[in-house]
Every structure is written in structure tokens, then in C-alpha cells.
Structure 1
Amino acid sequence: MKRIGVLTSGGDAPGMNAAIRAVVRKGIFHDIEVYGVIGGYAGLMKGKIEKLELGSVGDIIHRGGTFLYSARSEEFKTKEGQQKGIEQLKKFGIDGLVVIGGDGSYRGAKALTEQGFPCVGVPGTIDNDIPGTEFTIGFDTALNTVIDAIDKIRDTASSHERTFVVEVMGRNAGDIALWAGLAGGAETILIPEDHYDMTDIANRLKKGHERGKKHSIIVVAEGVVSGYEFAKQLKEETDFDTRVTVLGHVQRGGSPTAFDRVLASRLGARAVELLIEGKGGRAVGMEKNQLVDYDIIEALGKEHTLDMNLYKLSQELSI
């Protein structure tokens, strides 16, 4: 490996800049030239590639988002689009590529790998839904953003004796909802991995009201139902004064936490090591606080699993 590339793709996540920084500085430490792809796979096909120096990644470890920008590309899903990308990589003399992103980004890296171009995937998504790693870059920061919002909403819910429905991101994974709901003391948590019974939820809220509880927080993962639709259903079962807060993209922004900065640094550096070792077609992750790597093609064949014991605990503590 004499030259490697790095790109960010899909939804941005706090800590992506820290991962890019790690890739660039780890590469330069090993006398490897590092090139940044601007604008994800769409930028790759257009040849928007720039050489990165040590100074290129100075003062970015604390910044949210990605300074390489990100974009989604339907064209890159085609064989023709992928060949365009490979041609651009060869044009710049790049021998391997580090791809930072989520499920869609991994699929792009998998496609390049299958066509003989070595890629290493680094999990960067707030959804925490990538198989093979306990945590993805950005999850911890998004989680703390949600918890901060829930804490503030609880003050208002208490003051006005209301039930608040908080809709959070996560696509088809309930990690953000579960962890934030448990940490924020939510009375009810709705996740895609389990069905919900509106009558049961309503009865539990009524029981709490009868024992003097004046307010409640319900956390809803976007992959289950919209917060407004759930509030409508709840209104049909109860007469509680209910308000809805959809946190939206605020969850994807902000300065990354210390955890995400360290996680991103470790994963980004390990990705470079794998390319140096000649191991393309891999993805990096963290299991039991230890770095791991696995076949990126096999990883995409697995399903992300939620810790259902944590979900059970949240139900036990919300009585």
C-alpha cells in the first residue's frame, strides 16, 4: 500500500471526522499517502479526490458531521457506477479504500471488494445497527443528545401534568429509543424489535395516574410508528393531555462525546492496519472493548440484534 483513500457515505454521524483524522494520520505515520473522497460515492464517480496532509485533519476531532461531506447515490448501486468509481481510484493510484458509514455504505464497499478493489468498512451511524460491533461511531453522542432533550421535556411534562411522546431516530433498530428511554426514565419504550399493545400501555398509564403520577414520558422509535400517530392512538384510549416532540436531525449533530472520539480513532487506525496487512474486504468493530474485524460480505448477511435483556429491564423499572 502506497496510497489509500477515505470516504464518508450515507447519514452523517458525530465522530466521523475523528475517524477520518485517524485514517490520515495513521497512514502518514506509515509513509502512506492518503486521499480524501469528497461527497461519498457520488463524489468518487466524479473523481472529486484530494490529497490529505497532517494539517488537513487538524482541529477536526471535536467537530460533528464530516468535512469530506456525504451523499447518497443511486447510480453507484449499478455495476456501471461502481466501475466509474474504480476507474477514478486507479487514476489517482489509490490501492485501498476506507469507507466510513452505515449499512448502505458497507454495501458499496462490498460491491467494490467483489470486483477486486480492497475496501475496509468503519461503522459510522447513530443508529447502532451494524452487525459485528457493539457500538457504532455516533451512537453515544446521539444517545446523549436524546437524553438531554428528555430531561428538559420531563421538566415541562411535570409542570403541566402532561404525557409527552418523544419520537427518536434509529431506522429499523431500537437502540437509541431503548438506551435513551432507560437512561431517561421513560415509562414506556416502543422499539421495532417488539410489538406494542396500546391497551396495555393505556392501562399502565392509568394505573400510574391513580397512584398520583401526574406526567409520563413515552419514547417511540421511528421504525415503529410516528409520534403523532401514536399520540392519536393513545388519545383514543385515554383522556390524558398529550404532546409530541419529534427530535429529528438534531440527533445527528453536535460535538462527539469522548467515547465516540476514542472509538472512531481506534477503528479508523485499525482499518489502515488491515489495508497495510493486505486484508481487504473487511469491516472493523468493537466487541467487549476489543478491536475485531470480520468479512464485510458475511457481515451484511447478518441481522443486527438488540439486547432484549436491556429491554426487559426497562419494562421492570418502569412499573
Structure 2
Amino acid sequence: MKIGVLTSGGDSPGMNAAIRAVVRTALYHGCEVFGIKRGYSGLLSGEIIPLDSRAVGDILQRGGTILQSARCPAFKTAEGQALAKEQLLKMGLNALVIIGGDGSFRGAQDLNKMGFQTVGLPGTIDNDIGCTDYTIGFDTAVNTVLDAVNKIRDTASSHNRVYIVEVMGKLSGFIAAAAGLTGGAESVLVPEIPADLNALCAKISRSLHEGKTHSIVLVAEGFYGDPVDADQSSAFKVGRFVAQHTGCETRITVLGHIQRGGTPTFFDRKIATLMGAKAVELILAGETEKMVGIVNDKIEAFDMDAAIGERKQVDPQWLDLIRILS
């Protein structure tokens, strides 16, 4: 059995732990393992390398992905998929483990239709994949945001300021909601749920009048959609509105790609390791077009159609509780 592994789409902390688990579990069972560099782009260009146990040594604690990642519009074309099939046949690969988000899994489905066995691992900081409570990298990203919010709170309270903090999430507000709930944000604005900015401003003004020394608002980057220019980002739009309607000194912080990097947390290393091992078990059992998820702290396999058929949504009750507790 020859198994390939690739990481696709945006990187997330814990991908390396998943790669390590896939490689060493497969080797233990007598399989050959090959890494496909730069996701589907590397597949099309034939960037396929053998991986032994030493190749994945000392990567458990590292963020990013040693296999690198890239977007690949060419893979979506008939010509691109034909080339991918040619490369896989040339290397004699029987099965592939794809680590990524919903776009990566759709690519896995395309490969499955070509006759290749595929299993997906949910690797995305957005936590927006169905059939799993958590995706690889989400916990680390939220902890990165919390660390930043803790530091911002120090300066915000020193100057009686309102801070608008933009976090990642073009279509998903899970990072904003989770960090807001556990970081004591005044309010959280997410793409999935409309918000009344006038009510937000009234709340900020009332809080400051009652003696609160600062307010922190977390905004998912996709709250206003995908901006054309940086000064049209969701945080800047919300910040201008708040400043105009409250008269408060307002500052904008865009956390950006620091949320993707950093040493993965215990939790991300744990689920990545368990999911990686499970992926190999599924392949050896002849399963295909499956995604490995974690539900109620149990590692389970799900049909990939179910996993990507409906985008997971932020629970509105989280936002209500954030409002109550602030």
C-alpha cells in the first residue's frame, strides 16, 4: 500500500502533528508514505517525495506545515484533474490523506471519482466544518487571539478607549465568538448573524458612563463581506461608526496572520494525532471518501458529503451570553 498525504488551503497549527501521525502509523503497518508538497498545486507539478520516520521527526511542536500549502484553481478544471491522475498513477499511489477545509475535501471527492481512495482530516482555524466539534488549529488560533486581547485590555483600560479587534473568519465567526466568550469582549460581530450597531454604541456609551474603563469589540473579518481595500475592512467600518456615534476614542487592531502561526496547543496536537492515526486505519480497512472528526471527545469517521454539505454555524446563544456577561 502506498499512501500520499497533502495539506491544502490555509495552513493551521497542528497540521504537522497530523502529518507525523499519518506517516508513522502507516509505516508501522508496513505501508510506504509519500508527501505531496504545496497541496494540489504540487500534485499537478509532481512534487511528490518519500517520507520516512525521520522525515517527520521534531515537527510535532511546529506550526504551519512542512509539506507547505497553496491554492490551486487549476485542479478544478478537467485538464488539471487529468494531470493529477497521471501523477498519482506514475507514483503508484493507492490512497491519499487530505488535510484541509471544505475546498480541500471537494478536491478529495474529485480524486475519489477518479478511483483513488481518500480520507480527509479537518485542518482549518475557522472551525466551520460539519461533523466535528473542533477542527485542527482552531484551539491554537483562539488562544492566540485571547493572548492579544489580554494585552490590548491593558492599554485600553489605561486610556479609556474602545478597541475594535478584527480576527480571521471571512465566512465563519467561530474564532470571534469563542475568543469573545472567554476573553470578556463587550460585543462580538460575526458574518452569520446580523448586528445592530446603534444598539452596540448605546451599550458602549452606557458602560463608560457607569464607570467601565474600556470596551473591546471583536469583529470577524467577514462581518461586512470581503473588503476591496484595507481601510474598508470590517474593523475599520465598525470603528468609524462607533467613534462617530459615541464620541469615544477608538482604536483598530487587525490581528491578521499571527492567528495562523505559533506552537499548536495540547488540544490541537491531541486531535491531530488521533485523527491522523484514524485516517490510516480507515484506509487499511478499505474505507474511502470519509472525514475524521471529533464528537463528544470521540474520534469518528463520517461521510465526506455530510461533513461539507452544510456549513457549521455559530450558536446565537453564545452571542447572547457574551452580551449578558459584559
- 1:129-170 superposed Cα distances (whole Å, 9 cap, x missing partner): 111111000000000000000000000001111000000002
The equivalent residue for 1:63 is: 62
Counterpart-to-counterpart distance in 2, 1:102 and 1:119: 14
Could you tell me which runs of 5 or more consecutive residues in structure 1 were left unpaired when the two chains were aligned: none
The equivalent residue for 2:319 is: 311
Alignment of 1:115-130 (within 5 A): 115-130=114-129
1:4 Cα deviation after fit: 0.4
- 1:46-77 superposed Cα distances (whole Å, 9 cap, x missing partner): 11101100000000000000000101111001
Counterpart-to-counterpart distance in 1, 2:282 and 2:323: 42
Alignment of 1:152-191 (within 5 A): 152-191=151-190
| Number of equivalenced pairs | 317
The equivalent residue for 1:256 is: 264
The equivalent residue for 2:93 is: 94
Counterpart-to-counterpart distance in 2, 1:86 and 1:134: 33
1:305 Cα deviation after fit: 2.1
Alignment of 1:1-319 (within 5 A): 2-225=1-224, 226-318=234-326
Whether contact under 8 Å (2:162, 2:249) holds in the other structure is yes
Counterpart-to-counterpart distance in 1, 2:184 and 2:10: 28
RMSD: 0.9
1:112 Cα deviation after fit: 1.0
1:223 Cα deviation after fit: 1.2
Counterpart-to-counterpart distance in 2, 1:7 and 1:249: 21
200-209 or 56-65, larger mean C-alpha shift? 200-209
1:128 Cα deviation after fit: 0.5
Which amino acid counterpart does residue 139 of structure 1 have in structure 2?
F
SS in 1 for 2:309: coil
Counterpart-to-counterpart distance in 1, 2:61 and 2:13: 9
Whether contact under 8 Å (2:111, 2:118) holds in the other structure is yes
| TM-score calculated relative to the size of structure 1 | 0.97
Counterpart-to-counterpart distance in 2, 1:79 and 1:119: 19
1:258 Cα deviation after fit: 0.6
- 1:276-305 superposed Cα distances (whole Å, 9 cap, x missing partner): 111111111000001111111232222212
Percent of aligned positions that are identical = 52
The equivalent residue for 2:230 is: none
